[in-house]
Amino acid sequence: MRRNLALMVACLCLSATACPQEQSFTLLRQAAHCLVASKSDGRRLLKGNPKTLSLGYFLDTSSYPGEEALYLVNYEGSNMSKGLAFVFFVGDRDRRRVFRLENNASFMRKKKGIEFVDPPLGGVWTQEHFEAAIERIEQDPKMEVLVKDLRGSFPDVRCESYSDTR
């Protein structure tokens, strides 16, 4: 009986940790779709016409009370020493997941840490949060995503941007 209970608890724990990862990968693909579909950010992301994107992500649920911030990084080159970082606020509206692009930056990894080539808009707090997210993303495996898979229709996603006219 105890062994069965221990097995059930272990299965529940494994499924509880697997679901958030799967959900985050879905969030990553949906957010990357919004970048590829965007005229301005898509141009930066797709410079050089890559076939695949090397992506990492971090879902921050504590820095912005009541909001979920999805940090997404696209690494350029195989050594992952530079890339583009984006932050989306994620929500739901009208049975669709809404990705509101709020900020972006380009960065390089130096010996002393992250150096912004094109810093995010905002002050020191914003840069520190971008740095922390990039460092957190570097700890996890990267995902290679085909650009053609991001160009298709995502009917359950709504893409918005800080640069949209309201």
pLDDT value at residue 150: 92
Instruction: Give pLDDT tens digits along the chain (166 positions).
Output: 444 433 333 333 333 333 445 566 788 899 999 998 887 777 777 888 889 999 999 999 999 899 999 999 999 877 778 999 999 999 999 999 999 999 999 999 988 889 999 999 998 999 999 999 999 999 988 899 999 999 888 999 999 987 765 5
pTM score: 0.82
Short-list 95, 78, 92, 83, CA closest to 133: 83
- Both structure tokens of 156: 């359950």
How many C-beta atoms lie closer than 10 Å to residue 88's C-beta? 27
Q: Phi first, then psi: give them for residue 18, nearest 5 degrees.
A: -75, -40
